[in-house]
Amino acid sequence: MTIPRITDSHCHLDFPDFEGEHAAVVARAAEAGVARMVTIATRLANVPAVQAIAEAHDPVFFAAATHPMSVAKEPMATVAELVHLSEHPKFVGIGETGLDYHYTAESAGVQQESLRLHIEAARQTGLPLIIHARDADDDIARILAEEHRAGAYTCVMHCFSSGRALAEAALDLGFYLSMSGIVAFPKSGALREIFAAAPVERILVETDSPYLAPPPHRGRRNEPAYTADTARVGAEVFGIDYADFAARTEANFDRLFWKVPAWKAAG
């Protein structure tokens, strides 16, 4: 029996949790049907390490940005730097960027400035913007809409766990929502309802590993293989079988992260 193929659209393979284990992690992912993954650099200084992982492993692609929680302590990324990174054939997204007022509300102004720079880079490159949003729903919705009116771009709301209003605002702009292990937590009934109301054609799946391991792996380090556990819950949320959900989210990923299938074809 063939295992349905899926993609982990967001992980952090450069984190110390995975040191020395990249080949094994990629192999376990393949065994679970997770045939591709996007590893994210949360600081531009980390790009060389993340790029090296992508270059060393065929199924791994990468994206980069300055994370909103660290933007006040890091040099401000420039549009030119991000556009230059996009020239690498396995660089497939701009992010994660966004707003985090839960831990770093004091830097709200610089976070918003950084977010707008990253949006411009997404607009210029045609690559998807990868958004982190925590306790900042109103400002995120406002900025994304303002910038979209100024010039279209594509976007995924990574690890979506915000409210219904932000989900609807993102979907109205043509953006995507990504399911993480949070959607599989027993107490996430309200979040599952938000996803169930969304078009399945706008859904991606991810781990955000090493964080947020879904059941039955709670309390352990998360890794790309566990995308399959979240995707099985996603299939239940939409009332379709796992193979169908997997195929639909693969089509969604290929549509949004267009450089990934293009790289495979070129390779």
Place of tokens 């660290």: 70
In total, the chain counts a number of residues equal to 267
Q: Indicate whether 62 belongs to any domain.
A: yes
Cα 9 from Cα 159, distance rounded (Å): 10
Is the pLDDT at 266 greater than 80? The verdict is no
- Find the CATH number of the domain harbouring 235: 3.20.20.140
Q: Please compute the mean of the pLDDT values over residues 49-54 and round it to a whole number.
A: 98
Please give the residue range of the domain that contains residue 67. 6-266
Domain count, the chain: 1
Distance separating alpha carbons of residues 101 and 79, to the nearest angstrom: 24
Q: 């279209």: which residue's tokens?
A: 152
Instruction: State yes or no: pLDDT of 267 exceeds 90.
Output: no
Q: What is the pTM of this model?
A: 0.97
Residue 41 in 3-state DSSP? Answer: strand
Integer Cα distance of 8 and 48 in angstroms = 21
Structure tokens that stand for 133 in this block:
């949003």
Q: Specify whether the CB–CB gap between 19 and 10 falls below 8 A.
A: no
User: Does residue 60 belong to any structural domain of this protein?
Assistant: yes
- Is residue 12 a part of any domain in this protein? yes
pLDDT tens readout for residues 94-125:
999 999 999 999 999 999 999 999 999 999 99
CA gap 55, 46 in Å, rounded = 14
pLDDT-derived band at 25 (thresholds 50, 70, 90) equals very high
Assess if residue 15 is contained within a domain. Answer: yes
pLDDT attached to residue 70: 92
Q: Is residue 252 part of a domain?
A: yes
Look up residue 103 and give its two tokens: 């831990």
pLDDT value for 2: 85
User: Do the domain assignments include residue 41?
Assistant: yes
What pLDDT was estimated at residue 82? 97
Which has the closest alpha carbon to 249: 33, 16, 64? 33
Between the alpha carbon of residue 31 and those of residues 36, 112, 227, 229, the distances in Å are: 12, 40, 12, 13
Query: Is the residue at 1 inside a domain?
Result: no
- 99 within a domain of the structure (yes/no): yes
